[in-house]
Amino acid sequence: MRFGSVEFFKVLIKTVLAILFFVPLILAVVFGVLFVQKNTQVNELTSENTSIQQDNDKLSVVADVLVEEKVAGAQDVREILRMSGVSYEELIKLAAEEKDLDAQGLYDILANCGVSDKDIVAMAAAKKTLGAEDFYDVMSKNGITSGSLIKAVAEKSGKSAEEFYEILSECGMNDDELIEFIQSKQKQPDNSSGGSDVSEAGGDNSDTSGGDIDTSNISGTSETNDTSDTSEPEESSPYADLYEDMYVTTPEKYNFEEDTIYFTFDDGPSKYTYGFLDYLKKNNAKATWFVVPDESDWCRDALKAIAADGHTIGVHSLTHDYNKIYASVEAYLDDFHAAWQIIRDATGQTPQIFRFPGGSKNDFNGDTRDAIIKEMTRRGFRFYDWNVESGDVDGANWQQMYNSIPRDCHSVKRPIILMHDSAGTENALYVIDDVLKVLKAEGYKFDSIQDDTEPIQFIGPFS
């Protein structure tokens, strides 16, 4: 190609055009990349500045409230603590220093911090601020029977009657309560498994059953050697003529299984029942249903499925109408017998256990609970409360139950877990498989409540 020729100028023109096109393009790409990097840095700085501003806003809110004393109540305090990042532990320390927090408020905060009831009891007893009723209520929820407590206290006191008295007094029991308590134990048969009554707690206590109360006469049908026993003979009960078929046999002795957890489901069967059964079978676990049955074929089939898988079925109620069933002893027996009969007809099994709707001690049965418990115990039935709550009926989500159930099982020696098999508590179904896996990995076994399983009760023979 000769300089100055037509071909030369064609190549020259193409080269210039190429330079004019690609150079701006390359510059545009370079500047674009630099712009994106710079913009990212600006966004990061803006986000960091926003976070700092939010923290400043939170601190300002806390400062304004504290300075101007705008707090309206405990809920406001909780919200402020949440915004400021102050922990419950720090609040407890402050409350202890100020000494201006009531018992219920302190209990709630301690519970939220993961402090167990037993730890709270220990602290309260050490300070001599715990009443007898509260003491036994908490102990029963943690699976500790009166017999176990007496034995432990007697041993701790060096088997000295005087020291025994002093320790119980420190726990909040007055003289009248102590006398009544000891007299009630003197009514146990002389051939009980322990061989000694509680009045001899200061002497030799050779009870090898763990100090549990002898239950051979709980039903009211066994003879005792104490003529002062005020329990009525079976035939003298004012309700003896009602449902003469509704009697079961009381176990001679109750068993306590170590490292065993009892899952219980109230209010079923429901559309979730078969899901629970599948997860339990998958984990080789047994459980207990306290059911609210009806006459439908669907309900009967569900009850049969529960029984066929080897789970225990107990009575919860027929109507679950608190005002109706707790109106009188007769009303309770009417409701109970109807539910009891449905279960018998559907499964061929005779339920021996039950759970009070709302638990044995609730706001609806205060006027009738003692008479109902006495009559049901006379007939040989055992009722079971619980010492671990899943919170499903209160709207607890998967994460809350996944965290709380194993934690609460660790704090009691014989966990009976309250869950629900009912509409609105589907989160219990979602979490059950995961909770079973966690507890199984920790070495726990899972069983259903048997006829001779020692009860957990808020109030009653085993409270």
Tens of pLDDT, residue by residue over 311-352, are: 999 999 999 999 999 999 999 999 999 999 999 999 999 999
How high is the mean pLDDT of the chain? 77
CA distance 376 to 328: 13
pLDDT bin (cut points 50, 70, 90) of residue 397 is very high
What percentage of the chain has pLDDT greater than the value 90?
A: 47
* 66-75, 197-206, 290-299, 380-389: least confident range: 197-206
The residue-averaged pLDDT of 192-217 equals 36
Dist. CA 458–CA 138, nearest whole Å: 9
Rounded Cα distance between 376 and 461, Å, is 11
Kindly report, residue by residue over 116-145, the tens digit of the pLDDT.
666 676 666 655 556 666 666 666 655 566
User: What percent of the chain clears pLDDT 70, i.e. is strictly above it?
Assistant: 58
Query: How much is the pTM?
Result: 0.53
Contact 92, 109 (CB under 8 A): yes
Whole-angstrom CA distances from 246 to 177, 208, 343 are 35, 34, 13
User: pLDDT: is 288 or 165 the higher one?
Assistant: 288
| Residue 211 or residue 97, greater confidence | 97
pLDDT digits (tens, 9 = 90+) for 8-36: 767 777 777 777 777 777 877 777 777 77
Phi, psi angles (nearest 5°) of residue 48:
-65, -40
In whole angstroms, how far apart are CA 233 and each of 150, 225, 328, 379? 29, 14, 21, 11
Beta-bridge mates of residue 260: 445
In the predicted structure, residue 252 carries a pLDDT above the cut 80: yes
Q: Supply the pLDDT for residue 58.
A: 55
- Report whether 324 contacts 358 (CB < 8 A): no
- Name the phi and psi angles at 318, rounded to 5: -95, -40
CA distance 312 to 306: 8
For 100-103, the CB contacts below 8 A with 24+ separation are: none
Tokens of 3: 């300089």
Q: Give 100 or 282, the one with higher predicted confidence.
A: 282
The reported pLDDT for the residue numbered 103 is 66
Contact 384, 355 (CB under 8 A): yes
What pLDDT score does 258 carry? 87
416 forms beta bridges with: 262
Residue 395: φ, ψ to 5°: 95, 15
d(CA 291, CA 288): 9
Task: Report how far residue 151's alpha carbon sits from residue 135's, in angstroms, rounded to the nearest whole number.
Answer: 16
Between the alpha carbon of residue 213 and those of residues 91, 99, 175, 253, the distances in Å are 42, 40, 22, 10
The residue among 390, 387, 389, 382 whose CA lies nearest residue 451 is 382
